[in-house]
């Protein structure tokens, strides 16, 4: 099994748009026959793992020719790299700890007077390769993609300096997406660990990854991550900017921040969280909260505002940010710095005041054709979740909502992937476009690799449950395939169709480890004699012998009518479940 | 730490009704001071673990005197114990494998012409000690308890032969309850393991436990469980009846089933799942389902109906069952034998046909003053969950609904505690009274002790989230206490207020193991410099010095007004976060 596949039954395959020369990778899951002569076609599912990469060389630049063909960019001598970009310990050492040695590309930006955002193209009726890729990936029309982008109701995060990324779309008309956070901190972890977590997160289904590093080697870690990322990468640039001023929030300036943003634009960051909605006048609204401000970026900006008695520089310089983002096609992720950190603080004045400002900023960014999504909470009791998405959609004219959970109770540290998946399903059902995962370590520590996997799979569950609830076309195919496999005791197919094949198989084997049990027509819950699935199959057999589900459905209707017409009389001599020999 | 406490900060305490001599056990969680002179009172939380018992001796009979004082029961020579009660291997050996040696009580039943159910008392205006106990436990009025019982909208499962149980109430006006399933199967496990799982499940918060044993020593295992159970015990008697006929469903008879029910009534089972709604004419409705019949009991009864071409004997003898249950105060749990086993089959004709019959049976049981709850699904996509509870409540005149999840997707075997907790929160929010847990092993194998704990805690989350969403009085106290501890960096209190203190502490210690980190004013997510909570506290400090949250709230409103009136001008010289030495 390669590192890019979850199971030996999974292979990389492609869906082709031959006319436009576009190939979208999918994971093909091979299935066993239901019975001799009754084959099950492979199921193709959405794939985030990419083709796989050697970490030291990175991924091939899939989008490079698409970007070049548009002929609206220029390469230029980028901002010069500074040691401080990698933090204070790199300064002491005189170098980052593991310099990127793979392909070095000269940064691109838009030619003067041109705008290179997917929103800009969409609004001008231009269909890009990225849009075609996404339409094929989502199994929808290209026009749906273009029109949703043009209206601001969806984004394709796609920095022209991250040509390795496979385009994906975030918007409520499309499949619900999930983000995984990785990144080192002052306390722990190395560059290799973070690249490993990136690949691990996308293997299990992360649609985007945010690098939230706040420790050493921030610049270099990010370089390694982006060069190996088949998914869009997001960051919170204020974290790095703060490192550059020795962690002292009041020393931050617009100039330092702007320089950090350009540094990250040139590296290829696809979207950036910008806490421009934390206005000076909103800060006192948090003072009598149970948990104050829990967003790191929000707290930094609140601290800065208070220290300087000035309005948030991200707000006052927002138009300049739009101009920069438009040059690279970086998307805004408008940060909710005042999100509630406890259920007691949910949907309060501070939170909703900031949302009003985020709505204003959304429309300002759109004037520059810059793509925007809006971040949301947080900790919200279940009955207050829906209001969050409905208010955001109304105020922000349908701009994609991107939420952290929300967690529906505060009392389960260690299980906050679960408390938050409950809220995430509810909020996604009503239109949230992307869910930021929460791991079991939330509130307690930094996620390790197991935590990343648990977080990603838990959020795949929430996103998929919302897709089903929204009636998204094709979403139920995998459920139906797995349920059919379950009913037919195709154990191996149950495993390979599941979100975590190895875990499903390991759990099965704990009780029934022998290989024959993989083909047994019973399971450990009931044992061989006492199997409800087996009895159901007998019932089905007694009502019809059609071999295909569709034929059974048709045939059974007739059979049932006949049965009822005959006075509901049946006779079966023996329903004992045969024991496997 | 004793086996009955989750944490050294937890102790057994009692809430007293001195007038009536009733003591309700609670878990008291001691808390550290917020600051010198600012103590936090202990938080008392609902407790299911009981006082603790030595497995070989069982629990003291808390309710024995209450039952005796009502003077409406008689003790009698019960049904004689038969070796077949313990299955075929006990027959071969000539004995069960670990006979119960603890207290042996002569069974009780109602005196001729008397009815001993809590519903009967409630309808006749009698307030029992059980009702007082429950009112104290739920922090509500005794009259609410009595009136909900009388209306059939709540039940107190309380077989007079299970005097060890601490009364608890299941109904939508009360806290949402959870059930944990334990029990051996033909494949694995021993009596000691099952008693251990019982104590483990109630330690973590199971409100009732179902013994679903289908393997050897069924009778004896159940005896050990009931004698050690501080919570009501439920069973599915058809499982044992089937063992008595060598696992051959068509050999079942009403007489064998009736005898098994009486055997279990005399042992003290508090509620029994009865699949009386699986009618002959409904069976064909399942034939073209994706997953047929997945309920074991449902499949047995469907098989029996077809084999004999007769109506389900549980339905035709239902009135006799009511007469038996009324003699012991056993509650019906009307089984949903036709529940959907895949999201594709949710809310279909078979499921809702059976629900119509369960509604009819509910009202028949009420004529005998027998307590009833109704079981529900299963696998249901998120948007179809609400219809289940609303339809059940309407058809069954508010009888408590008791659901298994439901699971909102089929694609995550190994994680079905999560897929189902999502559906469980939704269905409980709209009035489901009890949630049957699902463990990570669902569909794959038998839960071990870790799985039982994970299942229970996941369901505590779902139930509690629903209590919060329903605005249940006092439900948020624990959330607020934990959030306040989190904001004040009282790490130990965060751990002890959580649903799983040891896991929360272990996760914290993975990143910051040193003891001083337990009192550090930062955590591993941000590191010492970069702490949003710390910055928030600085903000709060800058807006007021009141020491109590209430005072802060009041004081801050004034401060905020003053701040805004002054032109929203503040000046803080330095917001740098101090590093702990």
Q: Could you write out the DSSP letters of every residue in A197-231?
A: HHHHHHHHT-SEEEE---SS-HHHHHHHHHHT-SS
pLDDT at A24: 97
Cis, peptide link before residue A378, omega less than 30° from 0: yes
pLDDT tens for B386-410 read 999 999 999 999 999 999 999 999 9
A79 in a known ligand binding site: no
Closest CA to B3 of B230, B167, B208: B230
Interface contact B412, partner A, CB < 8 A: yes
- What are the backbone dihedrals phi and psi of residue A503, each rounded to the nearest 5 degrees, phi first? -65, -40
pLDDT at B82: 87
Closest CA to A97 of A107, A86, A105, A108: A86
pLDDT at A548 over 80: no
Count of helix runs (H) and strand runs (E) in chain B: 21, 15
Distance in angstroms (rounded) separating the CA atoms of residues A511 and A514: 9
CB A351 within 8 A of CB A377: yes
The 10 Å Cβ neighbour count of residue A564 is 12
Interface contact A291, partner B, CB < 8 A: yes
Binding residues of B for Zn(2+): 379, 443
Interface contact A444, partner B, CB < 8 A: yes
* C-beta atoms of A563 and B284 within 8 A: yes
Cβ partners under 8 Å of residue A214, min gap 6 = A183, A184, A185, A186, A239, A240, A242, A243, B526, B527, B530
| Angular region, B104: left φ>0, alpha ψ -120 to 50, beta rest | beta
More confident residue, A184 or B529: A184
More confident residue, A86 or B255: B255
* C-beta atoms of A425 and B429 within 8 A: no
The 10 Å Cβ neighbour count of residue B557 is 14
Distance in angstroms (rounded) separating the CA atoms of residues A515 and B324: 47
Q: What is the three-state SS of A279-345? A: CHHHHHHHCCCCCCCCCHHHHHHHHHHHHHCCCCHHHHCHHHHHHHHHHHCCEEEECCCCCCCCHHH
CB B377 within 8 A of CB B387: no
Closest CA to B430 of B457, B403, B459, B461: B403
C-alpha atoms less than 13 angstroms from C-alpha of B568 in its C-beta half-sphere: 10
> Parallel, antiparallel, or unpaired for β A73-75 and A108-110?
antiparallel
Closest CA to B89 of B218, B223, B225, B255: B218
Place of tokens 């005072």: B551
Q: Taking CB atoms and an 8 Å cutoff, what residues of chain B touch A530?
A: 186, 214, 239, 242, 247, 296
Banded model confidence at residue A500, pLDDT cuts 50, 70, 90: very high
A297 in a known ligand binding site: yes
Banded model confidence at residue A570, pLDDT cuts 50, 70, 90: very low
- A412, A438, A460, A463: best to mutate for the B interface, most B CBs within 10 A: A412
The 10 Å Cβ neighbour count of residue A193 is 15
CB B378 within 8 A of CB B392: no
Angle at B199 between CA B161 and CA B160, to 5 degrees: 10
Interface contact B12, partner A, CB < 8 A: no
- What are the backbone dihedrals phi and psi of residue A545, each rounded to the nearest 5 degrees, phi first? -120, 5
Measuring CA to CA, how many Å separate B87 from each of A344, A535, B28, B82?
54, 22, 43, 10
Distance in angstroms (rounded) separating the CA atoms of residues A293 and A536: 55
Tell me the average pLDDT across B378-393: 98
Q: pLDDT averaged over chain B?
A: 89
The size of the A-B interface in CB pairs under 8 A is 472
Assembly ipTM: 0.92
**Which tokens go with A103?**
């392909």
pLDDT at A565 over 90: no
Q: Taking CB atoms and an 8 Å cutoff, what residues of chain B touch A341?
A: 483, 486-487, 533
* C-beta atoms of B533 and A440 within 8 A: no
Q: Chain A: residue nearest B557 by CA?
A: A288
* C-beta atoms of B186 and A303 within 8 A: no
Of B292, B298, B543, the CB nearest to A287: B543
DSSP B229: -
pLDDT at B78: 93
pLDDT at A542: 67
pLDDT at A181: 95
3-state SS assignment for residue A402? strand
Tell me how close the Cα of B133 comes to any Cα of chain A, in angstroms.
26
A296 in a known ligand binding site: yes
More confident residue, A526 or A263: A263
A73 in a known ligand binding site: no
3-state SS assignment for residue B27? strand
Place of tokens 């207020």: B497
3-state SS assignment for residue B182? strand
Banded model confidence at residue A128, pLDDT cuts 50, 70, 90: very high
Q: Taking CB atoms and an 8 Å cutoff, what residues of chain A touch B462?
A: 422
Tell me the average pLDDT across B483-511: 94
**Which tokens go with A110?**
């838009």
pLDDT tens for B291-327 read 999 999 999 999 899 889 899 999 999 999 999 999 9
Q: Chain B: residue nearest A383 by CA?
A: B469
Place of tokens 């039943």: B109
Spatial strand order in the sheet of B22-29: B10-17, B22-29, B43-46
pLDDT at B414 over 80: yes
Interface contact B482, partner A, CB < 8 A: yes
Of A302, A410, A556, the CB nearest to B482: A410
Angle at A203 between CA A202 and CA A204, to 5 degrees: 90
Tell me the average pLDDT across A94-99: 81
Interface contact A524, partner B, CB < 8 A: yes
Tell me the average pLDDT across A519-529: 59
* C-beta atoms of B292 and A533 within 8 A: yes
Spatial strand order in the sheet of A43-46: A10-17, A22-29, A43-46
Tell me how close the Cα of A264 comes to any Cα of chain B, in angstroms.
21
Tell me how close the Cα of B158 comes to any Cα of chain A, in angstroms.
28
pLDDT tens for B173-212 read 999 999 999 987 655 568 888 899 999 999 999 999 999 9
Q: Taking CB atoms and an 8 Å cutoff, what residues of chain B touch A459?
A: none
* Distance from chain centroid for Cα B178: 2
pLDDT at A12: 96
Domain map of chain A by residue range? 63-475, 521-580
* Distance from chain centroid for Cα A354: 24
The topology (CATH level 3) of B63-475 is TIM Barrel (3.20.20)
Of B188, B464, B527, the CB nearest to A511: B188
Distance in angstroms (rounded) separating the CA atoms of residues B325 and B435: 23
A158 in a known ligand binding site: no
Tell me the average pLDDT across A344-367: 98
Binding residues of B for substrate: 181, 210, 239, 275, 295-297, 336-339, 375, 402
- Which run of H or E residues covers position B331? strand B331-334
Distance in angstroms (rounded) separating the CA atoms of residues A442 and A454: 12
pLDDT at A535 over 80: no
Tell me the average pLDDT across B33-43: 94
Banded model confidence at residue A279, pLDDT cuts 50, 70, 90: very high
Q: Taking CB atoms and an 8 Å cutoff, what residues of chain A touch B188?
A: 511, 524
Measuring CA to CA, how many Å separate B564 from each of A283, A357, B469, B536?
11, 18, 34, 19
* C-beta atoms of A465 and B285 within 8 A: no
Interface contact B186, partner A, CB < 8 A: yes
**Which tokens go with A493?**
């197919």
Tell me the average pLDDT across B104-129: 97
Of A291, A529, A557, the CB nearest to B247: A529
Distance in angstroms (rounded) separating the CA atoms of residues B160 and B266: 9
**Which tokens go with A242?**
């703060």
Cβ partners under 8 Å of residue B63, min gap 6 = B129, B130, B158, B163, B164, B165, B167
Tell me the residue ranges of DSSP E strands in B152-263. 154-155, 170-171, 177-182, 208-211, 233-235
Residues shown for chain B:
581
pLDDT tens for A294-350 read 999 999 999 899 889 899 999 999 999 999 999 999 999 999 999 999 999 999 999
pLDDT at A563 over 70: no
pLDDT tens for B219-230 read 999 999 999 999
Distance in angstroms (rounded) separating the CA atoms of residues B129 and B166: 11
- A247, A252, A418, A484: best to mutate for the B interface, most B CBs within 10 A: A418
Tell me the average pLDDT across B439-449: 91
CB A457 within 8 A of CB A499: yes
pLDDT at B522: 60
- A530, A547, A550, A569: best to mutate for the B interface, most B CBs within 10 A: A530
pLDDT tens for A140-157 read 999 999 999 999 999 999
* C-beta atoms of A284 and B343 within 8 A: no
Cβ partners under 8 Å of residue B511, min gap 6 = A187, A188, A441, A444, A445, A446, B524
DSSP A111: P
Interface of A with B in 295-334 (CB under 8 A): 295-296, 298-300, 302-304, 306-307, 309
CB A304 within 8 A of CB A297: no
pLDDT at A559 over 50: no
Distance in angstroms (rounded) separating the CA atoms of residues A345 and A389: 17
pLDDT at A248: 86
**Which tokens go with B134?**
């429950």
Distance in angstroms (rounded) separating the CA atoms of residues B174 and B169: 7
* C-beta atoms of B309 and A498 within 8 A: no
Closest CA to B183 of B211, B154, B164: B211
The 10 Å Cβ neighbour count of residue A144 is 18
Binding residues of B: 181, 210, 239, 275, 295-297, 336-339, 375, 379, 402, 443, 523, 526, 531
* C-beta atoms of B469 and A383 within 8 A: yes
Place of tokens 């569909």: B443
| Angular region, A58: left φ>0, alpha ψ -120 to 50, beta rest | left
Q: Chain B: residue nearest A562 by CA?
A: B284
pLDDT at A184: 77
pLDDT at B349: 97
Distance in angstroms (rounded) separating the CA atoms of residues B545 and B561: 16
């Amino acid at each position: 099994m390669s590192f890019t596949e979850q199971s030996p039954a999974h292979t990389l395959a492609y869906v082709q748009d031959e006319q436009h020369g576009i190939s979208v990778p999918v994971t093909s899951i091979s299935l066993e026959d239901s019975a001799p002569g009754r084959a099950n076609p492979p199921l193709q599912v959405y794939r985030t793992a990419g083709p796989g990469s050697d970490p030291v060389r990175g991924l091939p630049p899939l989008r490079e020719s698409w970007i070049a063909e548009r002929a609206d960019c220029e390469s230029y001598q980028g901002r010069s790299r500074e040691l401080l970009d990698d933090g204070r310990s790199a300064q002491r050492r005189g170098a980052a700890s593991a310099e990127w040695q793979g392909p070095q590309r000269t940064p691109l930006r838009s030619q003067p007077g041109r705008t290179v955002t997917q929103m800009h193209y969409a609004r001008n009726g231009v269909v890009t390769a990225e849009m075609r890729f996404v339409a094929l990936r989502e199994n929808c029309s290209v026009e749906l993609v273009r029109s949703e982008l043009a209206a601001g109701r969806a984004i394709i995060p796609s920095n022209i300096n991250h040509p390795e990324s496979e385009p994906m779309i975030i918007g409520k008309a499309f499949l619900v997406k999930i983000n995984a956070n990785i990144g080192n901190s002052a306390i722990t972890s190395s560059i290799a660990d973070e690249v490993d977590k990136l690949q691990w997160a996308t293997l299990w289904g992360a649609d985007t990854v945010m690098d939230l590093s706040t420790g050493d080697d921030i610049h270099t870690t990010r370089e390694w991550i982006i060069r190996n990322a088949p998914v869009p990468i997001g960051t919170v640039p204020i974290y790095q900017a703060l490192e550059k001023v020795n962690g002292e929030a009041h020393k931050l300036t617009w100039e330092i921040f702007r320089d950090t943003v350009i540094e990250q634009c040139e590296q290829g960051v696809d979207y950036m969280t910008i806490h421009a909605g934390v206005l000076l006048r909103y800060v006192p609204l948090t003072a009598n909260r149970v948990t104050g401000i829990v967003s790191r970026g929000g707290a930094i900006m609140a601290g800065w505002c208070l220290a300087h008695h000035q309005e948030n520089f991200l707000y006052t310089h927002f138009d300049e940010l739009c101009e920069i983002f438009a040059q690279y096609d970086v998307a805004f992720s408008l940060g909710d710095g005042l999100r509630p950190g406890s259920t007691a603080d949910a949907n309060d004045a501070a939170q909703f005041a900031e949302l009003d400002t985020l709505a204003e900023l959304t429309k300002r960014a759109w004037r520059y054709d810059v793509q925007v999504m809006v971040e949301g909470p947080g900790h919200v009791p279940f009955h207050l979740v829906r209001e969050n998405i409905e208010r955001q959609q109304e105020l922000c004219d349908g701009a994609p909502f991107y939420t952290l959970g929300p967690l529906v109770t505060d009392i389960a540290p260690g299980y906050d992937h679960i408390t938050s998946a409950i809220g995430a399903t509810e909020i996604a059902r009503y239109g949230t476009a992307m869910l930021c995962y929460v791991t079991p370590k939330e509130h307690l520590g930094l996620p390790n690799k197991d935590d990343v996997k648990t977080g990603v799979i838990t959020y795949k569950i929430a996103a998929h449950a919302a897709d089903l609830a929204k009636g998204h076309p094709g979403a139920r195919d995998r459920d139906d395939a797995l349920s059919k496999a379950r009913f037919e005791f195709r154990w191996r197919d149950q495993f390979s169709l599941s979100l975590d094949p190895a875990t499903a198989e390991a759990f099965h084997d704990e009780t029934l480890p022998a290989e024959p049990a993989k083909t047994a027509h019973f399971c450990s819950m009931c044992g061989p004699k006492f199997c409800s699935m087996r009895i159901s199959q007998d019932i089905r057999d007694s009502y019809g012998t059609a071999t295909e589900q569709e034929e059974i459905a048709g045939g059974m209707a007739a059979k049932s009518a006949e049965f009822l017409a005959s006075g509901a009389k049946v006779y079966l001599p023996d329903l004992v479940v045969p024991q496997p020999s």
